[in-house]
Amino acid sequence: MPKSARNVFYRILIPAPFVLGIWILVAWLLFHQSVTGFLSLFIAIPAAFIQLAVMGFMLWLRPSIRLSQEFATEDALWYFGTFVVWALGASLGSPWGGLVMVAGFVIGGIGISRIGQRSREEAMNTMSQRAERMREYLGQEPGSRLPNATGPGAGRVIIVDTETEWEEKGPATNPQRKPVEGEVVDERDSDDPDIDEWEARPHSS
């Protein structure tokens, strides 16, 4: 997508659900004004608003979109397709208007599924890239497993009380850096008998 189109798409993610909900109400006032149509507003407006809001929130949560506004064409098609079909259904009379809005709901549901799938794929790719960079840093072959933790306390989960201000001097495995001194304040039960979980608090300097 062109940069200008991506900027526009990013800016309308928040107002679009409100615009669609208002348009459904305005369309009923302009074209229908029937009792059945009024009752259907209590279903159509929340459904359209929630679908578009969920799609927009899922897109915003994707790091490539939130940080770089890197929208895929498929994302735009699902988002705007849902918006247009809902808006068109609100403009048509019965029974076609109701059928079109049902189609908009189905399209929105599929769009949410596809956007969620793309977000999961991107998350997995990001994790794989980070793992490869870690392997390169450790001097391992690409695709190999990362080494298991070794040394005293390997596999333990450490929960640090951050209410006390302290400065981390670096990992204890680096002999040139002074480790943070602290004390264990609470032992926790763990489902795994091989893993000890405890809470530590750094000493005040």
Higher pLDDT, 194 or 7: 7
State how far the alpha carbon of 108 is from the alpha carbons of 28, 112, 122, in Å. Answer: 21, 6, 21
Phi, psi dihedrals of residue 182, rounded to the nearest 5°: -155, -175
pLDDT tier at 19, thresholds 50, 70, 90? very high
pTM of the predicted structure, to 2 decimals: 0.60
DSSP labels, 77-146: HHHHHHHHHHHHHHHSPTTHHHHHHHHHHHHHHHHHHHHHHHHHHHHHHHHHHHHHHHHHHHTPPTTPPP
pLDDT at residue 45 tops 50: yes
pLDDT of residue 146: 52
pLDDT at residue 157 tops 60: no
Higher pLDDT, 86 or 182: 86
In single-letter form, the type of residue at position 186 comes to D
* 89-120 confidence digits (pLDDT tens): 988 877 888 899 999 999 999 999 999 999 88
pLDDT at residue 184 tops 90: no
What is the percent of the chain where pLDDT is above 90? 29
Whether omega before 179 lies within 30 degrees of 0, making that bond cis, reads no
Residues 99, 142: Cα–Cα separation, whole Å? 53
Decide if 196 contacts 158 (C-beta within 8 A): no
pLDDT tier at 132, thresholds 50, 70, 90? confident
Angle in degrees, 0-180, between the axes of helices 35-61 and 96-138, rounded to the nearest 10? 10
In single-letter form, the type of residue at position 166 comes to W
Work out the burial of residue 27: count CB atoms within 10 Å of its CB; fewer than 13 is exposed, 13-18 middle, 19 or more buried. buried
